[in-house]
């Protein structure tokens, strides 16, 4: 009996830990200190305890916005951003962001509490019962479930490595409610945690692949480099800039790659994009995919069939030949591949012929001149170009600021108008063109970088995540939101074709005061009607660092359907007869 009593006493004095603390300790061990999410059953205490342990926990008003924040945090830091949600409906809300992160190659981990396995598997009707792991698997890069406290360290480690290794993407980590209260010896718990070593090792390209690419490029008469957001994510900024400048080759930067070299760089061919895509003979793709954003590498935008050859740098071998033949595939991480290119170029690599460079410069200068007068137009109500001209100047004066951009015309036109000067300063809707990323991206950009953020939003796009202005005010973040308010989607002038009392499907409340939303939560709200007023209001907001929303009144007639991708909206060819009276 004495032995039993002594054992019981020793057991009572033994330091214990539980699933809550093991999850927190596993994240902190791997340098993850920020969590984005929405509290609720069964993860409320996980957020509270994480905050008590020194982590920053940012609570949102909707899980999709929290997930978008985690995704762009991953893009900016190359560490997986973490989104924490409740079970079932909360998990489903976060799943959209997880799928979008995977499509855009942003490292992210969605951690969701879930119902008990025994009840879910027998479909006995537990609280928010759902087989979340099965639902998540097809929509992300990897999915794991942890059932035992001693496996938390391994589960977190696997999620981190899956998120950032190879082509980055989204990972789902399922944590049933019962896991959090499991208790184990604290020392054994600490030993069960895993610090992930070299989670995204360099993948060196094959020498033969590098040689093949350089021989093809050396003989090009009209070469072109296309930089994608993968090049921005790689953070191989110096190598990429050196390669572009040493080669002398003109380049086009996709929207989230803008700023890897300044858009004002003499080799930038962004203002002559149509010409260079059509007339180039050798195209080097660095972190860019030949998806719909580049017309799949074929069609009239690219000139006659067989008129060009592609060199593609990508970490994923299966990306090669996805739409057209890739003459020189180079598989590896972008930093290693571009470094290998530089070494192979030597000291006497031929520069492009002068006539190619001169042709591009002439077209670029012509297009810039055509646009200049439209950007300086100071009219009331504003059109998109006049308003964007004012914001172009705001960003020029603040090259370190981060621009978040979404909408239809607001996005489509801003890509070409607002110049970027430094890498990873432009964040937008990416590969899927998903609206609603704005406020989540803005919050994470401010949190992860500490820099001022300018979010330029169409009024429709803002509606998807607008309630997060309260989140921005609650955390007192240096975010200035500009809502381009033209009373509707594309335009605010459509009418109900039936003549009935309902508004047209694309029309909003005329003259809506979005600025009052920001004022309601303690931020600064301003309404402006001219580009000069817009410039002054946004400049003051960016300099003050105060949460601000500028309601920019745009002519309701301004705008075109779906911007430059209106062709993706099929048109009905059937004319229905009116119903009989």
Neighbours of 322 (CB within 10 A): 15
**Residue 415: exposure state from Cβ atoms within 10 A (0-12, 13-18, ≥19):** buried
State the pLDDT at residue 565: 66
Q: What is the pLDDT along the chain (581 residues), one digit of tens a residue?
A: 444 555 455 555 689 999 999 999 999 999 999 999 999 999 999 999 999 999 999 999 999 999 999 999 999 999 999 999 999 999 999 999 999 999 999 999 999 999 888 888 888 888 888 999 999 999 999 999 999 999 999 999 999 999 999 999 999 999 999 999 999 999 999 999 999 999 999 999 999 999 999 999 999 999 999 999 999 999 999 999 999 999 999 999 999 999 999 999 999 999 999 999 999 999 999 999 999 999 999 999 999 998 999 999 999 999 999 999 999 999 999 999 999 999 999 988 999 999 999 999 999 999 999 999 999 999 899 999 999 999 999 999 999 999 999 999 999 999 999 999 999 999 999 999 999 999 999 999 999 999 999 999 999 999 999 999 999 999 999 999 999 999 999 999 999 999 999 999 999 999 999 999 999 999 999 999 999 999 999 999 999 999 999 999 999 999 888 666 666 677 677 766 555 54
State the pLDDT at residue 122: 86
State the pLDDT at residue 502: 96
Residue 104 in tokens: 């855009």
State the pLDDT at residue 166: 97
**Residue 296: exposure state from Cβ atoms within 10 A (0-12, 13-18, ≥19):** middle
Residue 101 in tokens: 């992160």
- Name beta bridge partners: 309: 282
- In 228-325, the DSSP E strands lie at 251-253, 282-286, 309-314
- Find all residues with CB under 8 Å of 483, minimum gap 6, and list them: 457, 458, 459, 462, 514, 549, 550, 551, 552
- In 2-52, the DSSP E strands lie at 16-18, 34-37
- Name beta bridge partners: 16: 185
Three-class SS state of 148 = coil
pTM (global) more than 0.75: yes
Q: For residues 450 and 448, what is the distance between their CA atoms, to the nearest angstrom?
A: 6
C-beta of residue 135 within 8 angstroms of C-beta of residue 164: no
Picking from 170, 175, 149, the residue whose alpha carbon sits closest to that of residue 159 is 170
Residue 110 in tokens: 């969605």
Q: For residues 545 and 551, what is the distance between their CA atoms, to the nearest angstrom?
A: 17
The CATH class, in words, for 207-361 is alpha beta
State the pLDDT at residue 111: 98
Residue 5 in tokens: 């009593």
State the pLDDT at residue 581: 44
Q: At what angle do helices 207-218 and 334-345 cross, to 10 degrees?
A: 60
User: 14-192: which CATH architecture?
Assistant: 3-Layer(aba) Sandwich (3.40)
Radius of gyration of the chain measured on its C-alpha atoms: 26
The dihedral region occupied by 487, where left means phi > 0, alpha psi between -120 and 50, and beta the remainder, is left
Residue 546 in tokens: 């105060």
- Name beta bridge partners: 81: 108
How big is the chain, counted in residues?
Answer: 581
DSSP per-residue string spanning 444-466: HHHHHH---EEEEEEHHHHHHHG
State the pLDDT at residue 443: 98
The ranges of the chain annotated as CATH 3.40.50.1220 are: 207-361
- Find all residues with CB under 8 Å of 414, minimum gap 6, and list them: 388, 391, 405, 456
CATH code of domain 376-561: 3.40.50.970
The ranges of the chain annotated as CATH 3.40.50.970 are: 14-192, 376-561
Q: For residues 324 and 310, what is the distance between their CA atoms, to the nearest angstrom?
A: 9
């Amino acid at each position: 009996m004495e032995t039993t009593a002594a054992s019981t006493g020793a057991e009572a004095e033994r330091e214990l830990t539980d699933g809550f603390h093991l999850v927190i300790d596993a994240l902190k061990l791997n340098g993850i200190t920020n969590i984005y999410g929405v509290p609720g059953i069964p993860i409320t205490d996980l957020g509270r305890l994480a905050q008590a342990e020194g982590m920053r926990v940012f609570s949102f008003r909707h899980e999709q916005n929290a997930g978008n924040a985690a995704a762009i945090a991953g893009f900016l830091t190359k560490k997986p951003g973490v989104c924490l949600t409740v079970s079932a409906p909360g998990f489903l809300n976060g799943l959209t962001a997880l799928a979008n992160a995977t499509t855009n190659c942003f490292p992210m981990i969605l951690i969701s509490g879930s119902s008990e396995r025994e009840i879910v598997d027998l479909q006995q009707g537990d609280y928010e019962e759902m087989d979340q792991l099965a639902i998540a698997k097809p929509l992300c890069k990897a999915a794991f479930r942890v059932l035992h406290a001693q496996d938390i360290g391994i589960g977190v480690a696997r999620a981190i490595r899956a998120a950032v290794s190879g082509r980055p993407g989204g990972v789902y980590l399922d944590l049933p409610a019962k896991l959090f209260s499991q208790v184990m010896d604290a020392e054994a718990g600490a030993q069960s945690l895993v610090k992930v070593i070299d989670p995204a090792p360099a993948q060196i390209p094959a020498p033969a692949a590098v040689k093949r690419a350089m021989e093809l490029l050396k003989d090009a008469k009209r070469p072109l480099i296309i930089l994608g957001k993968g090049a921005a994510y790689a953070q191989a900024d110096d190598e990429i800039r050196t390669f572009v400048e040493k080669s002398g080759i003109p380049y086009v930067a996709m929207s989230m790659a803008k700023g890897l070299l300044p858009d004002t760089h003499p080799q930038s061919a962004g203002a002559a994009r149509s010409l260079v895509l059509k007339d180039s003979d050798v195209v080097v793709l660095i972190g860019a995919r030949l998806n719909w954003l580049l017309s799949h590498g074929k069609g009239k935008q690219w000139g006659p069939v067989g008129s060009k050859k592609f060199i593609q740098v990508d970490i994923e071998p299966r990306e090669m030949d996805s739409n057209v033949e890739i003459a020189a595939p180079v598989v590896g991480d972008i930093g290693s591949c571009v470094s290998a290119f530089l070494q192979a170029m030597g000291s006497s690599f031929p520069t492009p012929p002068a006539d190619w460079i001169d042709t591009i410069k002439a077209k670029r200068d012509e297009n810039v001149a055509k646009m200049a007068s439209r950007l300086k137009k100071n009219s009331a109500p504003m059109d998109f170009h006049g308003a964007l001209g004012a914001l172009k100047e705001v960003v020029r004066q603040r090259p370190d600021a981060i621009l978040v951009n979404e909408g239809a015309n607001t996005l489509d036109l801003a890509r070409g108008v607002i110049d970027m000067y430094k890498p990873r300063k432009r964040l937008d809707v990416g590969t899927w063109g998903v609206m609603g990323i704005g406020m989540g991206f803005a919050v994470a950009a401010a949190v992860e970088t500490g820099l001022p953020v300018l979010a330029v939003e169409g009024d429709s796009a803002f509606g998807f995540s607008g309630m997060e202005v309260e989140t921005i005010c609650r955390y007192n973040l240096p975010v200035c939101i500009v809502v381009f308010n033209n009373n509707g989607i594309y335009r605010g002038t459509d009418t109900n074709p039936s003549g009935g009392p309902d508004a047209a499907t694309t029309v909003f409340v005329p003259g809506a005061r979005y600025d009052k939303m920001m004022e309601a939560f303690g931020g600064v709200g301003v309404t402006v009607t001219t580009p000069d007023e817009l410039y002054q209001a946004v400049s003051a907001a960016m300099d003050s660092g105060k949460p601000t929303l500028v309601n920019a009144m745009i002519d309701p007639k301004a705008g075109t359907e779906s911007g430059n991708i209106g062709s993706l909206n099929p048109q009905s060819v059937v004319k229905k007869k009116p119903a009989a009276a």
